[in-house]
Structure 1
């Protein structure tokens, strides 16, 4: 891998209006806080084109804003072939969307597809469940899982960047 190329993460869910934009905003903010924005880029997408061009769900924006995250500039898009090629890591929110991404992904890039929840440290959930048909608690639960997974993910990325020979500041543990 080329040390000067940023490590690129794409988080994805079904429509790219609830879970993946939430994860996008949390990751983006935490990367920025650590001063890693030179070395790490974040994007989000959906496996379906249901909401392409739309802003994140107002409920997702509201609950994220309560925790200090801004989703207002994000717009839904669908996963593309270039995502599989150019991303270093593609993180799905649940089994169904993981399977859809794996089916669409060329075999040479499938090793890049994982679940965001794999990186959770404190929550024991294999997935980040879809809050769309739930209430406020569902959106808060998504944020809890995403914040937890982000810390584990940043540790992983820090090790990858160190392997690339980059002296990045360590991720602090919350």
Structure 2
């Protein structure tokens, strides 16, 4: 199983995550120093079973980029969350320290649901 991260734009390609994001993630045991930004490529829609967007704007961008045969792979990341009603991951950069903590809470919740979804999919594949 492969997991990757990419943006719909290439503005920060090659750069590491924001220092604040790395610091807050590190406090929870997630080490992001090895990650470098990259832009979504057409191959991503072929290679990955799911292509997840953090917000509706990026979802729309991904849907425009995605070949018709792979449209079902493109979803909102927080559609897998179970502990909150939010459907978009907010930009943490304008919310101070609480913004980063809130985003991590949302991401952890969605990851739990995503792992369960993957388990179910693997059961059905045999």
TM interval, shorter chain, is over 0.9
Structure-2-length-normalised TM-score: 0.97
Alignment of structure 1 residues 12-161 onto 2, 5 Å: 40-161=1-122
- Deviations 1:47-106, CA, capped at 9 Å, x for gaps: 010000000000100000000101010000000000011110011000000000101111
Match for residue 8 of structure 1?
A: none
Structure with more of its chain in helix, by fraction: 2
Partners of 2:71 and 2:99 in 1: how far apart?
30
RMSD of equivalent CA atoms? 0.8
SS in 1 for 2:4: strand
Q: Hey, what's the Cα distance between the residues in 1 that align with 2:84 and 2:98?
A: 16
Structure 1 or 2: more strand by fraction: 1
**SS of 2:31 mapped into structure 1:** coil
TM-score, normalised via structure 1 length: 0.71
Q: Distance in 1 between matches of 2:82 and 2:94?
A: 26
Cα separation, 2, equivalents of 1:56 and 1:98: 21
Match of 1:15 in 2: none
Residue in structure 2 matched with residue 6 of structure 1 by the alignment: none
Query: Where does structure 2 lack aligned partners over 5 or more consecutive residues?
Result: none
What SS does the aligned partner of 2:75 have?
A: strand
SS of equivalent to 2:83: coil
